[in-house]
Amino acid sequence: MTPILEINDLHVVFDTPEGILRAVDGVSLSMNPGDTLGLVGESGCGKTVTAMSILRLIPDPPGRITSGTIKFNGQDIASLPLKELRKIRGAAVGMVFQDPMTALSPLHRIGDQLVEAIRLHDQRIPKNEALALASEWLVKAGIDDPKRCLGEYPFRLSGGQQQRVMIASVLMTNPSLIIADEPTTALDATTQKQVLELMRNIKGDDTALLLITHNMGVVANTCSRIAVMYAGEIVETGNVEEVFHSPGHPYTRALLDAMPSNSRPGERLAAIPGAVPSLLSYPAGCRFHDRCQFVISECNSTHPELKKFENSKTHSTRCLVWINSTAETRLHSKSKTALSTKLPNPDYAAEPVIRSKELHKKFKTVHAVKSLNISLYPGETLGLVGESGCGKTTFARMIAGLETPTKGEIHIDGNQVYSNRSMSVKRDVQMVFQDPFSSLNPRMSVGDIITEGAVFHGIIKRSERISEAARLLNLVGMPPEAAFRYPHEFSGGQRQRISIARAIALQPRVIICDEPVSALDDSVPAQVLNLLVDLQRELNLAYLFITHDIS
Ligand code: SF4
């Protein structure tokens, strides 16, 4: 059988002011018709660049493919004239992106966009037939009222509906390969599941699916094969069953351990220490050696090859140590990060720090929150779980004083509070937001960001800012020099640590964490969640933890 996609020793670099960034460094993979392959790894491992290279979508300059071949249906993509390549893009190979709003035009109705996409690939189809075809695909994609949907602009649809429209628009041209880049990351858990099922069910039997994700759970539910990328190269490949049953690389094992669903309730999560190395200069030896729990001295100098396990035709690893192991020994190997420290004990004898009584919020005709009663005790973490749009964030905003309730009472430390809160009450409740990229002012240094509130509230003097910033950064596990740098210089996980430092600077009683880890890679939430638990124990904080992820 001719593979639908064959990538051989692909190297992609980007020219940057700091030097040449080796984003993809010798990746080889192959997919047959009907295959579902999950390409996983933390941000910055080269997954998306690999996928973009397939359709020559790398911005050139600064990016370029320096060597290697990409064959689609036996045809070398690199040597195809642009005109031929355009025929493949969208028709034979479809792409589903993370944020459907960036892929759908905000100025055109869904119907017009779908009709245009159909007729772009076959001009002979009359408009009314194209519209009927689009409607048919919207139904297949789970849109209940296709007629209404066709007449809407994208912003009038929910995130899940937009992603369904995207999937319909990709599948209606009957592609041989779908490349889906984090297609469900921006969606809540229920919609995520529905969208993944949809992609699996309505793609043709011969359509191959390359799914790029940082979420191991998504791969387990959707794919038959997996390739794990780390620092520009593939470190493990195999069937999903064998890789999940007995991971063949310490990095894969660490990614699996770091999934919150793999920890026991009430215990610390297993986090992967450190971060992905800079793509500007890879370390000598195994690129994972400074984060690996199974490192031996040889790993510091010898760069491992990707090799098949002796007793498997499909399972390969790039590890000097585990290549000689059996599935049985790997299955029973224990990660040393899985500590079993118990979570702090809440003080249920004390007055609740937050109590809401019959809280209501109505926006015109929409009842966002209805009769909500909660009590949150010192040292307690209360998880507020539900799908997007069910009122979690509105409730949290009322507790934080950012929204005025239509009806009901909020008590902080036993005292009822109103919309005109005193400075000290405002200090008591702080928030950590979902998106660490947009919640920090890009023009302020980290030191100024985290101490600004403390100066404003008179907790510290202006002259104490530098020492206070160092103390707060130390509490969240960051070096004091970070105070002089700017948010864009940090990774998502580090930015979330900075957000937490800003929140604790005001010595609050309660922190409202609004989806604080849902925008982060699979390896990072465990670090951030463990940090929150450590701070809770140290500072006797209470958390109202809003999430759509039950695990
Ligand atoms: S080669 Fe060594 S450092 Fe690299 S993953 Fe294997 S044990 Fe760890």
- The CATH number for 492's domain is 3.40.50.300
pLDDT at 217: 85
Distance 310 CA to ligand 1 centre (A): 18
Nearest-CA residue for atom 3 of ligand 1: 289
Distance 321 CA to ligand 1 centre (A): 6
Q: Is residue 211 part of a domain?
A: yes
What are the residues whose beta carbons fall under 8 Å from the beta carbon of 194, sequence distance 6 or more?
Answer: 142, 160
Distance 42 CA to ligand 1 centre (A): 17
Q: Which two tokens stand for residue 335?
A: 């990660």
Domain final position from 267, 297, 332 = 332
Regarding whether 265 and 119 lie in a shared domain, the answer is no
Report d(CA 104, CA 114) in Å as an integer: 10
Nearest-CA residue for atom 6 of ligand 1: 319
Q: Is residue 83 part of a domain?
A: yes
Regarding whether 311 and 167 lie in a shared domain, the answer is no
**Residue of higher predicted confidence among 199 and 498:** 498
Regarding whether 150 and 299 lie in a shared domain, the answer is no
What confidence tens digit (pLDDT) does each residue in 326-361 have?
777 777 666 554 444 567 788 899 999 999 999 999
Enter the ipTM.
Answer: 0.99
Report d(CA 529, CA 507) in Å as an integer: 19
Domain final position from 223, 238, 273 = 223
Mutate to test the pocket of ligand 1, among 286, 291, 296 (most ligand atoms within 8 A of CB): 286
Distance 222 CA to ligand 1 centre (A): 28
H helices of 246-359, in order, are 250-257, 327-332
Regarding whether 371 and 512 lie in a shared domain, the answer is yes
Ligand 1: residues with CB < 6 A are 249-250, 286, 288-289, 292, 294-295, 299, 304, 319-322
Range of the domain at 42: 5-223
Distance 306 CA to ligand 1 centre (A): 12
What confidence tens digit (pLDDT) does each residue in 137-181 have?
888 888 888 899 999 998 888 777 888 888 888 888 888 999 998
pLDDT at 340: 47
Distance 316 CA to ligand 1 centre (A): 14
Report d(CA 437, CA 364) in Å as an integer: 31
| SS3 per-residue string spanning 104-169 | CCCCCCHHHHHHHHHHHHCCCCCHHHHHHHHHHHHHHCCCCCHHHHHCCCHHHCCHHHHHHHHHHH
Report d(CA 166, CA 295) in Å as an integer: 44
Regarding whether 493 and 372 lie in a shared domain, the answer is yes
Mean pLDDT of the chain: 86
Query: What is the position in ligand 1's atom list of the atom closest to the CA of 289?
Result: 3
Distance 298 CA to ligand 1 centre (A): 9
Distance 297 CA to ligand 1 centre (A): 10
Query: What is the position in ligand 1's atom list of the atom closest to the CA of 251?
Result: 5
Regarding whether 512 and 370 lie in a shared domain, the answer is yes
| Residue 423, pLDDT above cutoff 80 | yes
Regarding whether 324 and 204 lie in a shared domain, the answer is no
Comparing 57-61, 262-266, 459-463, the range with the smallest average pLDDT is: 262-266
pLDDT at 339: 46
Report d(CA 436, CA 439) in Å as an integer: 5
Distance 461 CA to ligand 1 centre (A): 48
Query: What is the position in ligand 1's atom list of the atom closest to the CA of 293?
Result: 8
Mutate to test the pocket of ligand 1, among 235, 289, 307, 322 (most ligand atoms within 8 A of CB): 289
What confidence tens digit (pLDDT) does each residue in 443-485 have?
999 999 999 999 999 999 999 999 999 999 888 878 888 899 8
Regarding whether 263 and 169 lie in a shared domain, the answer is no
Domain final position from 207, 223, 239 = 223
Mutate to test the pocket of ligand 1, among 287, 290, 319, 325 (most ligand atoms within 8 A of CB): 319
Q: Is residue 241 part of a domain?
A: no
Q: Is residue 245 part of a domain?
A: no
What confidence tens digit (pLDDT) does each residue in 425-442 have?
889 999 998 777 778 999
**Residue of higher predicted confidence among 201 and 397:** 397
Percent of the chain with pLDDT over 70: 94
pLDDT at 121: 78
Strand partners, 230: 233
Regarding whether 400 and 318 lie in a shared domain, the answer is no
Mutate to test the pocket of ligand 1, among 230, 236, 294, 336 (most ligand atoms within 8 A of CB): 294
pLDDT at 342: 64
b/e burial code for range 32-71 (CB count within 10 A of at least 16 → b): ebbbbbbbbbbbbbbbbbbbbbbbbbbeeeebebeebebb
Q: Is residue 280 part of a domain?
A: yes
Q: Is residue 199 part of a domain?
A: yes
**Residue of higher predicted confidence among 242 and 325:** 242
The winner for highest mean pLDDT among 225-229, 389-393, 492-496 is 225-229
Distance 254 CA to ligand 1 centre (A): 12
Mutate to test the pocket of ligand 1, among 322, 325, 335, 336 (most ligand atoms within 8 A of CB): 322
Nearest-CA residue for atom 5 of ligand 1: 319
Regarding whether 290 and 156 lie in a shared domain, the answer is no
Report d(CA 184, CA 486) in Å as an integer: 30
Query: What is the position in ligand 1's atom list of the atom closest to the CA of 320?
Result: 1
Q: Is residue 233 part of a domain?
A: no
Task: Check: CB of residue 264 under 8 Å from CB of residue 277.
Answer: no
Regarding whether 177 and 314 lie in a shared domain, the answer is no
Regarding whether 83 and 25 lie in a shared domain, the answer is yes
Domain count, the chain: 3
